[in-house]
Amino acid sequence: MHIEIRAERAEDAQAIRRVTEAAFKLSSHASGTEAAIVEALREAGALTLSLVATVGGDIAGHIAFSPVTIDGQDLGWFGLGPVSVTPDLQGHGIGSVLIREGLAHLRQTGAAGCVLLGDPAFYRRFGFENDPALRYEDAPAEYFMRLAFQEAVPSGKVSYHAGFAAS
């Protein structure tokens, strides 16, 4: 299977919505608001990085990165998510390729680090780790992880963009 990764284009919005809704529809950890979150971030101009994966010319996956604050300050950190892959292609590495490409882009553009809320068994393979010094109060601590791109790692309360309150 040949996977191509590229930046989101304006005409991709509906396909991204469909992929995101389908990817999270049966997920036990989903809030059901993932597609609305992506749209809210897009409308607010807060999608720092939005990549799609195409297979055979069709959008098969999407990943979003948006700024986060730490104790109310912009310290150059970003939140990963949501990341979605159409159900019939899950398990074929598309999500992993999106994550690797997105993290590489963040590093290249000088980001300080990235946080996420997700399955530790999956995200540790990308270098993410738990850090009790960085807290996200709306979820169990074991599922909140960080990946520092620079030596200095801040501490404090992490807040996602207001778009994450979309419903």
| pLDDT tens digits, one per residue of 112-142 | 999 999 999 999 999 999 999 999 987 889 9
For residue 13, pLDDT over 70 is answered with yes
Q: In sequence order, what DSSP letters do the residues of 60-128 get, joined into one string?
A: EEEEEEEEEEETTB--SEEEEEEEEE-GGGTTSSHHHHHHHHHHHHHHHTT--EEEEES-HHHHGGGT-
pLDDT at 28: 65
> Is residue 138 classed as helix, strand or coil in its secondary structure?
coil
Q: Does domain 3-165 have CATH number 3.40.50.2020?
A: no
Domain boundary assignment for the chain: 3-165
Q: pTM for the complete prediction?
A: 0.94
14-64 pLDDT tens trace: 999 999 999 988 776 767 789 999 999 999 999 999 999 999 999 999 999
User: pLDDT class for 72, splitting at 50, 70, 90?
Assistant: very high
| Nearest alpha-carbon partner for 44 in 24, 67, 63, 62 | 67
Handedness of CA 92, 95, 100, 104 (dihedral sign): positive
For residue 111, pLDDT over 90 is answered with yes
| Nearest alpha-carbon partner for 12 in 79, 67, 58, 66 | 58
Average pLDDT over residues 76-92: 95
The CA distance from 106 to 63, in Å, is 13
For residue 167, pLDDT over 70 is answered with no
Q: Which residue bears the tokens 């469909």?
A: 18
The CA distance from 18 to 60, in Å, is 10
Higher pLDDT, 80 or 1: 80
